[in-house]
Amino acid sequence: MLASRSLIATLRDDPGDAVVASHRLMIRAGLVRKLGAGLYHLLPMGLRTFRKIENVIREEMNAAGALEFQLPILTPSELWEQSGRWEKMGKEMMRFKDRHEVWNALGPTHEESFSSLVSELIKSYRDLPLNVYQIHTKFRDEIRPRFGVIRSREFCMKDAYSFDLDEKALDITYQKMRVAYRRIFARLGLSTVPVEADTGAMGGTGSEEFMVPSEIGEETLLVSENDKYRSNQEKTPVSYAKAGDFSAANQAAQPTGDLKGLERHHTPGMKTIADVAKHLNVAATAILKTVLYYADGKPVAVCLRGDRDVNEIKLSNHLDGATVLPATPQQIKELGSVIGFIGPLGLSKDARIVWDLSLTEGGPEWIVGANEAEYHCGGCVLDPARESVDLALAQAGDPSPAGDGVLKEIKGIEVGHIFKLGKKYTEAFKVTVQGEDGRPLTPVMGCYGVGVNRTMATIIEQWHDDKGILWPISAAPYEIALVSIAKGEDEIAKAREFYEALTAAGCDVLWDDRPARPGVKFGDAELIGYPIRLTMGKGYFQDGELEVVRRADGEQLKCSGDTAALVGQVLKLREELYAELEHNAAGAST
C-alpha cells in the first residue's frame, strides 16, 4: 500500500476524553474515531489490525474443530422468552419493537440463537461433538462505556458454543478450547492468566476467564503465592479459622431479639465503620456491619463483620440468581432504619436477614447500628443456630483456598471467557439427539467468548512506549513501513522498485511515499507502530545501504547488498518476529 493513496489519519494531540493509553493511541494513530458513547468507527488502518486479530482467532477455532456461522444480530423476544432470559437480562440488552409491534433485542450474546438453530441441525449422537462459532457484532447498552473499545456498547465478539454427549465429552472440548485460547493470545503477543470465574447466573459447572494483568484492569484477581490458586475476586471463597466453631458463650446465649437492654452509644455523624471504631476505641472486627439490598424487589439485610465487604455476586447466587440492588435511602427509611446506623435488631420484619460466615469469628458480643439516627448499640449477641453463608468479598492477605499461604491481588483485563453451561439451553430449546441405544439424549453445552476490539486495545495497553504503539507482528496494520526520503524521479523509481520487490516476496508493506518531512514520516511510523521500519535515504541511494529498525526495541541494522539480498534480510527478520510468537503459542499449548 502507498501512504499517498491510503489515509494516515494521525493526530498530534491527545483526545481530551482518553484516560488510558490504548484509547489515546488508537485515536492518535488513526485506528478509530469516536461516534458517541461506546461507539467507535474503525478506520482503514484500524480495520487491518482488527482483521488480523480476527484471523488468528478464526485459524485457532478452525484448528480446534469449530465451524464458523453467521447469525442475525437482531433476535426476536420469543427466543429469550423460551430460555427465561427476557426478564433476566436487564438494561444492558437493547430492546425495541419493530413495525409489526414485535419485540426484539440486539444480541448481547447468542446462546439462545445457536441452541435454537442447532436443535434443527442435529439428529444423532454421531453428529456430536459439535462446536459452532461466529465472529460478529454484539450490542450491550453498558451503563458506563469507557476506556475506548475496551468497554464499548457495540463490539465484535468471537462466540463459540459446543454440544457434547455428556460431561466427560464436554471436559475434552473445554480443554481443547482452553488450549486454543492460550494459543490465540500468545500468537497476539499477550500473556494471559486463566482464573476461575463465577458461574452463578448462567448456571454452569465450571468457568475460566483469560486475564491480561494490567493496572487499568477492571477485574480484581486473587492469586496465591506459588500460583496454585488463581481466581476472580468475585468467586474467591473466604474461610475463617474458627468458622463453625461457636464458643461456649455463644452457644449459651439467646438472641436478644430487640434492642432493649443493650448498651447505647451516641455516635453523631459517624456513618462509617472506621468512624465508629475510632470513636468507641475498638477494632473494626468488633462491629457488625449491616447492608440493605433489594433482591428481585424483596428487602434483604446482609450482616457481616465490620472489616468485610459484601460480594454481591455471592449474594445473588445465594438468592437463586436474584438481581441484587443496594437499597436507596428512601427504601432504608421504609424498612425502619437510617443510612449509616443500620443494624439487625428492630429492622422491619419484611427484611430477610442473611448472616455472613465472618461473624463466626469474633463476638460473641457485637456493636450494631441502632436503626436510629446517631446511635449504635453494644452487646448484641447472635442466635447460634443461625445459618451462616459465605457472602464476603475475599481480599489480599486472606488465606489461599489451595492452602498455599496468603492471597495477593492483581488487576486484570478480561479478554476471553470459557464456560461449561450444562443443559440449561439444550433443555429450553429441546436440543436432542438419538443415542446409541435409540433413546433421545440432551447434549451438554459449553460457551466461549473473545472480544475482538477489546483484545486489540489490550495489545496496545501492553505494547506501547511514549512514542506510540509497538505492535506484535501478527496484529500490526502493516508488517513493514518503508520510509523513503527520495529526491527526484530517479530515487523515487528506485524506492518503488524496492517496494515492489518486498511486496512480491509476500511482505505486507506500507510505503510512505508522501512528500512530507522525514520527521513527520518517522513520527507517524513510530506512533502507528509498524514492527519493522526500513529507511531509504541518502545512504541507500548513494551507497546501497538500507537501515532496518525493529520498533519493539529500537535496534538498528545497516543492511547492504543487491535488492534480492536486502529483501532476504528483511524476510529473515520478519520470520524471526513471527517465530517468537509461535514459540510462545507452542509453550501455551501444554
Round to whole Å and give the CA distance between 359 and 289. Answer: 10
| Residue number, 164 or 208, with CB nearest to Mg ion | 208
| Residue number, 3 or 157, with CB nearest to ligand ATP | 157
**If phi over 0 gives left and psi between -120 and 50 gives alpha, with beta otherwise, what is residue 468?**
left
**What's the one-letter identity of residue 22?**
S
**The one among 34, 52, 138, 417 contacting Mg ion by CB under 5 A:** 417
- For the chain, helix, strand, coil in percent to 5 are 35, 30, 40
**If phi over 0 gives left and psi between -120 and 50 gives alpha, with beta otherwise, what is residue 84?**
left
Round to whole Å and give the CA distance between 253 and 277. Answer: 24
**The one among 52, 85, 110, 140 contacting ligand ATP by CB under 6 A:** 140
The three-class DSSP label of residue 78 is helix
Which string of x and - marks every residue 286-305 that binds ligand ATP (by CB under 6 A)? --------------------
Q: Residue 147 Cβ, how far from ligand ATP at the closest point, in Å? A: 9
| Residue number, 234 or 524, with CB nearest to ligand ATP | 234
Q: Residue 152 Cβ, how far from ligand ATP at the closest point, in Å? A: 5
CB distance 435 to 127 below 8 Å? no
Q: Does 52 bind ligand ATP (CB under 6 A)?
A: no
CB distance 215 to 411 below 8 Å? yes
Nearest to 293 by CA among 323, 315, 335, 325: 325
| Residue number, 86 or 578, with CB nearest to ligand ATP | 86
| Residue number, 292 or 413, with CB nearest to Mg ion | 413
Residues in the chain: 590
**The one among 183, 230, 424, 454 contacting ligand ATP by CB under 6 A:** 454
Q: Please choose which of Mg ion, ligand ATP, none residue 152 contacts, taking the beta carbon within 5 to 8 angstroms, the exact cut-off set by kind.
A: ligand ATP
CB distance 463 to 470 below 8 Å? yes
Q: Please choose which of ligand ATP, Mg ion, none residue 140 contacts, taking the beta carbon within 5 to 8 angstroms, the exact cut-off set by kind.
A: ligand ATP
Residue nearest to ligand ATP (CB): 451
Distance, first Cα to last Cα, the chain? 39
Q: Please choose which of Mg ion, ligand ATP, none residue 155 contacts, taking the beta carbon within 5 to 8 angstroms, the exact cut-off set by kind.
A: ligand ATP
Q: Residue 133 Cβ, how far from ligand ATP at the closest point, in Å? A: 12
Q: How far is CA 319 from CA 84, 205, 312, 444, 585, in A?
A: 17, 18, 10, 25, 41
| Residue number, 208 or 524, with CB nearest to Mg ion | 208
Burial 565-589 (b: 16+ CB within 10 A, else e): ebbeebeebbeebeeebeebbeebe
| Residue number, 30 or 108, with CB nearest to ligand ATP | 108
Nearest to 32 by CA among 138, 155, 136, 141: 155
Residue nearest to Mg ion (CB): 417
Find where cell 489490525 sits: 49
Q: Which of residues 390-419 bind ligand ATP (CB under 6 A)?
A: 414-417
How many amino acids of this chain bind ligand ATP (CB under 6 A)? Answer: 16
Q: Residue 425 Cβ, how far from ligand ATP at the closest point, in Å? A: 15
Q: Please choose which of Mg ion, ligand ATP, none residue 422 contacts, taking the beta carbon within 5 to 8 angstroms, the exact cut-off set by kind.
A: none
Find where cell 465429552 sits: 169
**The one among 451, 472, 477, 531 contacting ligand ATP by CB under 6 A:** 451
Nearest to 314 by CA among 233, 224, 208, 218: 233
Q: Residue 298 Cβ, how far from ligand ATP at the closest point, in Å? A: 25
Q: Residue 209 Cβ, how far from Mg ion at the closest point, in Å? A: 6
Four-CA torsion 375, 381, 385, 389, nearest 10 degrees: 50
Q: Does 110 bind ligand ATP (CB under 6 A)?
A: no
Round to whole Å and give the CA distance between 581 and 590. Answer: 15
Q: Does 152 bind ligand ATP (CB under 6 A)?
A: yes
**The one among 23, 48, 151, 187 contacting ligand ATP by CB under 6 A:** 151
Round to whole Å and give the CA distance between 22 and 29. Answer: 10
| Residue number, 22 or 152, with CB nearest to ligand ATP | 152
| Residue number, 27 or 128, with CB nearest to ligand ATP | 27
**How many alpha carbons lie under 13 Å from residue 95 in its C-beta half-sphere?**
17
For the record, the C-alpha cell of 105 comes out as 433485542
- Strand pairing report for 464-465 and 468-469: antiparallel
**The one among 81, 127, 141, 142 contacting ligand ATP by CB under 6 A:** 142
In degrees and rounded to multiples of 5, residue 150 shows phi and psi of -65, -45
Q: Please choose which of Mg ion, ligand ATP, none residue 491 contacts, taking the beta carbon within 5 to 8 angstroms, the exact cut-off set by kind.
A: none
**The one among 10, 371, 453, 584 contacting ligand ATP by CB under 6 A:** 453
Which string of x and - marks every residue 374-413 that binds Mg ion (by CB under 5 A)? ----------------------------------------
| Residue number, 212 or 577, with CB nearest to Mg ion | 212
Q: Residue 78 Cβ, how far from ligand ATP at the closest point, in Å? A: 22
Give the rounded distance of the alpha carbon of 377 from its chain centre: 43
**The one among 40, 50, 133, 155 contacting ligand ATP by CB under 6 A:** 155
Residues that bind Mg ion (CB under 5 A): 417
Residues that bind ligand ATP (CB under 6 A): 109, 140, 142, 151-152, 155, 157, 414-417, 449-451, 453-454
